[in-house]
Amino acid sequence: MFPTFLPSAVTSLQTEYAIALAQWIVRREILTPLSQHKIATAYVQQGKGSRPILLLHGFDSSLLEYRSLIPFLAAANETWAVDLLGFGFTERLPGLPYSPAAIKIHLYSFWQTLIARPMIVVGASMGGATAIDFALTYPQAVHKLILINSVGYTGSFPLGQFLFPPFDALAVEVWRQRKLQPLHLATAFGNWNPALKDALRCAALHLEMPGWQEAFSTFTKSGGYSHLSSKVSRVDKPTLILWSEFDDVLGVGDAEKFQGDISGSRLVWLKNCGHVPQLEQPRTVAQHILSFC
C-alpha cells in the first residue's frame, strides 16, 4: 500500500524499485525553529550499520531519485533519504521562508530528532550544495561528505529576485509544464520503455503536492546557493567527489574546482553516464560510496 499523503498518480508506477521506495516513504512531524507548527517530513530509512548514510536529492526533485541506489547501500549500511524543506513530499506550510538557510535548519532538526549521530552525507546536484552548507554550519552532524555532480559554484537563480506577480506564477507554470510534457508524450505513446516512463513519473509526482507552487517560487526568489562558492574551501570533512564524464547539466569543469578547493578530497570520474548516475549506474555509485565509507 502507498502512503495516503502521496498524490494518487503514485499508483501508476510500474518498476520494482520505484514502487518499493514509494511504499517505504513515511512522514514524521518535526519541530523546528522555523514555525510553531511541526513539519510533516518525508523520509525513508532502510538497513543497519554503525555509521548512517543520508541521501540528499537535487533541485525540484524528491528522494525517489535514489530508488535504484538505496537497495545497494541498505544491504550493508543504515541508509536514510529525506525530502528537503520545500521539495518532494515534505509538508509545505504556508508562509515559510523556503531558502537554503531554512532548508539546513529544517534538516538539522530532522537529524536531531531521528538520527543524532555523525553521518556520511551524500548530495547530488543541488543536494551537494545543501550537504556542503549543512556541514559548514553543523560540523558535529557530519562525518564525511560525498558530492555527486554537485552544485556549489553554479546553481543560483539571478532572475528570481525580479519575478513579481503575476510573472512569478507564470514562470512556475512554464516550469511545471516542461516537466509534465514528456510524461504526457510517454503516456500517449504506449511503446515507451517502462523504466523511462517511471523515471518521468517519479520526476513529476511531487508537483501535485499542496503548496508546491508557492515553495518553488519562494526558493527561486531566494537566489538559491549563489552564496556558497566562496565557502567551499572551508570544508574540512573527508570528501569524495563523484563526477560524470558526460554531465550535460553542470558540465565537468567544477569537478576539479571542488577537488582543488576541498583539502584532501578525492575525485572519481564516472564513465559513460550523465547528470544522474545514481539512476544510470547505481551499482557503481554504491560501490564508490561504500568503499569511501
Which residues are the active-site residues? 125, 247, 275
Q: What are phi and psi of 266, to 5 degrees?
A: -120, 130
Residue tagged 577537488 (cell numbers): 259
Closest to 245 in 3D by CA, of 272, 268, 284:
272
Q: Print burial letters for 223-249: b (CB count within 10 Å at least 16), e (below 16).
A: bbbbebbeebeebebbbbbbbbeebee
Grid cell of 232 as nine digits: 567551499
Q: What are phi and psi of 65, to 5 degrees?
A: -70, -10
Between the CA of residue 205 and those of 34, 192, 291, what are the distances in Å?
A: 26, 18, 33
